[in-house]
């Protein structure tokens, strides 16, 4: 069965799926996106992702293309047509199609909506988590509204390419004070030298990760110590454990930072436990 995408009201062959050359997402990165993990054909952490989509659209004054209920129907139909049980679903809303001019089209044009889905091999994902991954640190060079999930991701693309060329899978952005902000497509965490979980607070210029938010609940339920406070690269290198969270990475242990081992270079007990807890939560809350 071939892959199917949803584009502006139609289910089309993935190979033929296209938007107009004057789509503002294409010309200006004038659009937002969301990514849900999918377990058993259902959306993990669905309400959190819908809420963030609504917020991202609102911040950019892009009109929602349809109601959340209607969007859910389309998302589920894309999963069904692609026979995705475990995987990822990607949704992008652009401001729409108009002759190229920087200000918003006036009168407004209908937003563009694109949805694609792909399967993820959960066994391979688990095997990667069991090995752990490397990250590299890069200077923070993004704009001041990283809380909006926009498709303007060039710094993230360059950072993640640098990571790949260094044999790592994620890049951690580091601000002028030497503090880690977040990953190129994930939030960053450590278990510090005192055994306290640390991750940057969402008042900072980072994406308010939905996976991150779910983990906060799990951490509190498990009675683990948490301090929502940024950490330096040096603290991360001297930490007991490190890991990243996101719809793609779920909870993924980090065992190397800039080539140096974290702890003994193997995934630590807290990250492993939180991954297991998150997987069962996400499977359970998938809607
Ligand atoms: N990225 N920070 C950034 C910069 C991200 O792009 C993401 C997600 C996260 C984690 O957010 P969440 O837990 O809500 O997925 C943090 C998605 C998966 C992506 O770009 O593919």
Question: All domains of the chain, ordered by start, with CATH?
Answer: 4-120 (3.30.470.10), 125-285 (3.20.10.10)
Cα separation, 35 vs 14, whole angstroms: 18
Nearest to 38 by CA among 49, 29, 28, 30: 49
Q: Give the mean model confidence (pLDDT) for residues 245-269.
A: 98
Q: Which helix (H) or strand (E) holds 77?
A: helix 68-81
Q: How confident is the model at residue 287 (pLDDT cuts 50, 70, 90)?
A: confident
Centre of ligand 1 to C-alpha 195, Å, is 25
Q: Is 225 labeled as catalytic in the residue annotation?
A: no
Closest-CA residue, ligand 1 atom 1, reads 185
Is 11 a residue whose pLDDT tops 90? yes
Cα separation, 189 vs 230, whole angstroms: 9
User: Which mutation among 29, 32, 35, 88 tests ligand 1's pocket best, with the greatest number of atoms within 8 A of CB?
Assistant: 35
Centre of ligand 1 to C-alpha 37, Å, is 11
| 56-115 tens-digit pLDDT | 999 999 999 999 999 999 999 999 999 999 999 999 999 999 999 999 999 999 999 999
Give the Å distances, CA to CA, from 168 to 72, 133, 162, 199. 35, 7, 8, 20
pTM for this one? 0.97
Give, rounded to a whole angstrom, the gap between the first and last alpha carbons of the chain.
25
Contact predicate 98/67, CB 8 Å: no
Contact predicate 35/82, CB 8 Å: no
Q: Give the mean model confidence (pLDDT) for residues 46-53.
A: 98
Nearest to 146 by CA among 200, 175, 96, 182: 182
Closest-CA residue, ligand 1 atom 9, reads 186
Would you say the CB of residue 140 lies under 6 angstroms from ligand 1? no
Is 286 a residue whose pLDDT tops 90? no
pLDDT of residue 1: 66
Would you say the CB of residue 214 lies under 6 angstroms from ligand 1? no
User: Which mutation among 185, 206, 218, 245 tests ligand 1's pocket best, with the greatest number of atoms within 8 A of CB?
Assistant: 185
């Amino acid at each position: 069965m071939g892959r199917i995408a949803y584009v502006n009201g139609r289910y089309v062959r993935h190979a033929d799926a296209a938007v107009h050359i004057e789509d503002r997402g294409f010309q200006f990165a004038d659009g937002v996106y969301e990514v849900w993990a999918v377990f058993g054909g259902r959306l993990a952490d669905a309400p959190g992702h819908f809420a963030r989509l609504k917020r991202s659209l609102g911040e950019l004054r892009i009109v929602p293309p349809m109601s959340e209920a209607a969007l859910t129907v389309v998302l589920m139909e894309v999963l069904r047509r692609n026979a995705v049980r475990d995987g990822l679903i990607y949704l992008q809303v652009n401001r729409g199609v108009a002759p190229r001019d920087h200000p918003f089209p006036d009168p407004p044009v209908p937003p563009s909506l694109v949805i694609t889905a792909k399967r993820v091999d959960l066994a391979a994902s688990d095997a990667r988590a069991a090995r752990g991954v490397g990250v590299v640190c890069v200077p923070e060079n993004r704009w001041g509204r990283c809380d909006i999930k926009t498709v303007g991701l060039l710094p993230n693309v360059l950072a993640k390419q640098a990571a790949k060329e260094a044999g790592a899978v994620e890049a951690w952005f580091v601000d002028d004070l030497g503090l880690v902000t977040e990953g190129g497509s994930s939030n960053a965490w450590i278990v510090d030298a005192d055994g306290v979980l640390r991750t940057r607070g969402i008042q900072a210029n980072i994406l308010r990760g939905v996976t991150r938010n779910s983990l906060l609940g799990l951490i509190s339920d498990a009675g683990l110590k948490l301090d929502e406070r940024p950490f330096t690269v040096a603290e991360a290198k001297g930490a007991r454990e490190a890991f990243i969270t996101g719809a793609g990475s779920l909870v993924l242990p980090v065992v190397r930072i800039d080539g140096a081992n974290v702890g003994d270079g193997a995934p630590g007990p807290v990250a492993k436990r939180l991954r297991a807890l998150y997987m069962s939560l996400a499977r359970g809350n998938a809607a």
